[in-house]
Amino acid sequence: MSGKKQKVIVVMPAYNAAKTLHMTYKDLPHEMVDLVILVDDGSKDETIRIARELGLELFVHDCNYGYGANQKTCYREALRAGADIIAMVHPDHQYDPTLLPSVIGPIQRGEADVVLGSRLLGGQALQGGMPWWKYVSNRFLTWCENTVFGLHLAEYHTGYRAYTREALESVNLETNSDNFIFDQEIMAQLVEVGAKVAEVPVPTRYFAAASSASFVQSSVYGLSILWLLFRYQLHRWGLLRHKQFISVSRRYSNQSTPVS
C-alpha cells in the first residue's frame, strides 16, 4: 500500500442502538474515516431512522439474524466499497470511538494485519465496570485460546477490532456462525493463515444502554469457544480436517505483536 492512501471504512453492527448511535458517530475521528457502514439486524427501535439522518451507508436485515450474520454483511459491504482497512466500532458506545487511530495505527504502519482493542491490556477492566464473573471467564478462555493458537494476547473477547482487506479476503467468513462465536471463529481462521495479530489497550464502559450478554448467554458462549478450540486443534493435528479452517491464502507469517 506504499504511496497510496489506505481507504478506512468503519462498520457498525447494530441492534437496537438508537440511544447511543448518535454519540458514537459523533465521537469518531471523521478526518481519518472514508465511510461509515451500519448494518441493522432487525432493530425494533429508531436505529434505522437515526442512521439515515446521520447519512450513514445503511444496510438492513429483514429480521434479527444474529451478531455473526451482521458482521458478515458488514465486511462483505466494506470490501465491496473498496476498503483497505476495516474497523468494527459497536454503536452502543461501550468502546471509545475516539481511540480509532490507536486501533488502526498498527495496520497503517505495516505492523499488523489484525488489531484487537483489549479491555484487559491496560488492567482497568474491573474499574470500568466489567462484572467479576466476566473477568474470570475472560481470563480462563483467553488462556485456553493462547494455548491452542500459540499466541500471547491479553484477551480475544473484544468487539473493537480492525482488519486489513487482505486478512478478511484470506478466510472463508461464510462458514462461520451467525452468532457471537463468530468473533472467535474468525480468529482461529486468521491464526491458520498466519496473519500478524496485534492488540492495543482500550477502556470499556458498562452502562444501561450498552449491550451486554447475560450470565446464561455468556456460559453458552464460553462452552462454544471450548468446542471451537477442540475442533481447531483436531484440524491442526490433521485428525479431522474442516473446511472452515482451510486457508484461502497463506501470504502471512504467523506472528503476534503486542503494541503498547
> Would you list the domain boundaries of the chain?
8-258
Residue 255's pLDDT is 43
Q: What is the pLDDT of residue 34?
A: 98
Tell me how crowded residue 239 is: count the other CB atoms within 10 A of its CB.
Answer: 8
Residue 109 phi/psi, 5-degree rounding, is -85, 0
Contacts of 140 (CB under 8 A, 6+ apart): none
Q: Average pLDDT for consecutive 10-residue bins of the chain (260 residues)?
A: 81 97 98 98 97 98 97 98 98 95 98 94 62 79 96 94 97 95 96 96 66 70 94 90 74 43
In whole angstroms, what separates CA 154 from the centre of its chain? 15
pLDDT at 203: 83
Give the model's pLDDT for residue 250. Answer: 45
Q: Where are the alpha helices (DSSP H) in 81-206?
A: 100-108, 132-149, 165-169, 182-193
pLDDT value for 257 = 42
For 8-258, CATH gives 3.90.550.10
Count of Cβ atoms closer than 10 Å to residue 149 Cβ: 23
Q: What is the pLDDT of residue 134?
A: 75
Closest by alpha carbon to 117, among 96, 103, 137? 103
* pLDDT value for 129: 63
User: Which pTM does this prediction carry?
Assistant: 0.87
